[in-house]
Amino acid sequence: MNTALAVCHPCGWAEDAATRAWHERLAERFATLTPPTRKNEFWRYSRLSACFAPERAGRGLDFSFPAAEPLAGEWIRLDQGRPVTAHTRAWRLRSWSELDEATRARWRERLEPGEDYFAVRNLVEADAVLLLELEQTTDAPLQIQYRHGAGWVQPLLLVEVAAGARGALVETFSSFGPSTQNGAVHLWLGEGAELTHGVFTADEEQALLHRVRARLGARARLDVQAFAAARGYQRLEWDVALGESATLRLSGITQGEPEGSTDVALRIRHAAPGATTDVRWRGLVPAEAHSAVIGRILIEPAGQRTDAAMRLDHLLLADGAAADVKPELEIYADDVACGHGATLGRLDDEALFYLRSRGIPEVEARRLLIDAFLAPVLQRFTLAEVLRHVQSRLPLPDDAAA
């Protein structure tokens, strides 16, 4: 296993014949595609113009970043989509050029992107392709830190957790200049594997598009813990397919920023019997901010004995705040237990009056109500690295809570 690793491999795809032919077919497909529009239900509330600002036309590979803060434990740092340094004992890290042909062929099949403009673009223009493999159980989360600064930045991580193994990943993002990060993580969990996946985005002034595509084997478990806040535009996507008796627990919080826009898109597919999905997402939206969460759970005919639930709830904290929430169930099986719901509203005036009548100042009373609103999701956050970041953002500052 790696103890200290400087990742300096050539970026992008290796030039073997099979990969080159596959890559050329993707490039031809990309040439026929156009960016999604609001006619697409999952992009209905998005502000895509932020991704295509003229100053972001270049690749910006030579962007100079400030000195990075040291990381503890196990970690990988990527600058401009390229891995630059890493330290891990539990995970095996390999670039595409280091993979044997059988592994490459397996992943080429897994990476089929369909007609998704941004997914195809990520594969065609990937700055780096890195495979992370976990073959044992580890208690130390692997921290993945992305930094982007100029142009289009397009990292691609492939993650495979072996049957019966258990581990955790935590992804964090930082922007330092006019850029659009169009990144993707492909998770492949073997039979009985378990992965806790933390995603933390905050203070993103530039555009961020981040997709997580997960495939869960029989009895595998994926526990997602996400926190999203942005002063610019960001979009987070999860596309999850569950195998027999697999479990997905997805917990998220959106904290809006003035003039910021955050979109969350969830596509969850039950194609095998006995699987469980539990989604809870809560959002806080201050004045001049926008938040959207669209979630769809599809239960195919083979998805008998499915247990699935989705709750999407948002608080509008001031005039001028806007949110769109839309949970969906699409069911083609007859032996299921499913439910979904959403709420969109303001703080309870009666509860606020009650707290103020007990001598609690208004700002503190609002914070208490916000804490109570977030508590059902925060209680599901178990990753210390994510909790530390979230606690640095909450409670809300006075100008956002008032």
Q: Report yes or no on 6 lying in a domain.
A: no
Q: Report yes or no on 346 lying in a domain.
A: yes
Q: What single letter denotes the amino acid at residue 145?
A: Q
Q: Phi then psi for 2, rounded to 5 degrees?
A: -75, 140
Q: Report yes or no on 359 lying in a domain.
A: yes
**Three-class SS state of 212:** strand
27 vs 24: CA distance, rounded Å: 5
Asked if residues 71 and 145 have their Cβ atoms less than 8 Å apart, the reply is yes
Cβ atoms within 10 Å, residue 98: 12
- 21-38 pLDDT tens trace: 999 999 999 999 999 988
Q: Phi then psi for 63, rounded to 5 degrees?
A: -60, 140
- H-only helix segments in 146-282: none
Lowest mean pLDDT segment, chosen from 81-95, 166-180, 329-343, 382-396:
382-396
Tokens (6 digits) for 212: 């997580």
Q: Report yes or no on 262 lying in a domain.
A: yes
Asked if residues 55 and 38 have their Cβ atoms less than 8 Å apart, the reply is no
148 vs 132: CA distance, rounded Å: 21
What pLDDT does 2 receive?
44
- H-only helix segments in 50-201: 101-110, 117-124
What pLDDT does 401 receive?
43
The residues that bridge with 290 in the sheet, in sequence order, are 261, 322
Q: Report yes or no on 313 lying in a domain.
A: yes
Q: Report yes or no on 298 lying in a domain.
A: yes
- 347-371 pLDDT tens trace: 888 888 888 888 898 888 888 899 8
Residue of higher predicted confidence among 398 and 16:
16
Query: Per the structure, how many domains does the chain have?
Result: 1
- 121-175 pLDDT tens trace: 999 999 999 999 999 999 999 999 999 988 889 999 999 999 999 999 999 998 8
Q: What single letter denotes the amino acid at residue 118?
A: F
What pLDDT does 203 receive?
67
Q: Report yes or no on 199 lying in a domain.
A: yes
Q: Can the peptide bond before residue 273 be classed as cis, meaning omega within 30 degrees of 0?
A: no
pLDDT tier, 3 (very low <50, low <70, confident <90, very high otherwise) = very low
114 vs 123: CA distance, rounded Å: 11
Q: What single letter denotes the amino acid at residue 395?
A: P
- 258-291 pLDDT tens trace: 888 899 999 999 999 999 999 999 999 988 889 9
User: Residue 63: which domain range?
Assistant: 17-401
* Cα pseudo-dihedral 324, 38, 153, 52, rounded to 10: -110
Q: Report yes or no on 5 lying in a domain.
A: no
What pLDDT does 366 receive?
87
- 47-61 pLDDT tens trace: 888 787 645 555 555
DSSP secondary structure code for residue 3 in this structure: S
